[in-house]
Amino acid sequence: MGDVIWGNGSNTLSASSFVLNVTHRKNGNRDDYSDMEKITVTSVDLPGMPRNKDDWTEESLRACVVDAFLKCEVERRDESGTIMGKISHSGAGGY
């Protein structure tokens, strides 16, 4: 199992990247994560967000991630320190 972090999305940086305000970290994560991490999305499972990467826009990403509570399954960090990972809506509030 890879590292997992959770938190609320804040501003978007592009059609596939945004800032995550990290609130929870999985016990046993191999790496450390700061309270604010830049994320590049490799794949998504988010209500309202197209599965096909070609259909992503900054607008659609903003509508789906800003303030939303998200789970990030970390794949790796790139050379600039940005996390590459899968983003999903974490559990559900009531569904």
Partner 1 sequence: MAHATDKGKYFKDSTECRITLKEIFCGITNPVLQIYEAVGRMFPDHSVSLAREFQYDYSQAVIRIHEKGRSVPVHKDNVKYEGREYDVSSIDHQLSCVLHLQESESGGDLVLYNRSWKKDDEQFRNIDFGYSRNLTESSQSYRAPNLEAGDLVIINPIYYHEVTRIIGDVPRITLGMFLGFYSQKRKIVAWA
6 is a site residue for partner 1 (CB under 8 A): yes
Tokens 């800032």 -> residue: 19
Q: Which of 1, 11, 32, 93 binds partner 1 (CB under 8 A)?
A: 93
Helix, strand or coil, per DSSP, at residue 2: coil
Pick the closer one to partner 1 by CB: 16 or 80: 16
Q: Does 33 bind partner 1 (CB under 8 A)?
A: no
If binding is defined by CB under 8 A, does position 35 make contact with partner 1? no
* The token pair that represents 33 in the structure block: 């994560």
Residue 46 interacting with partner 1 (CB under 8 A)? yes
Q: Find where tokens 């070609």 sit.
A: 54
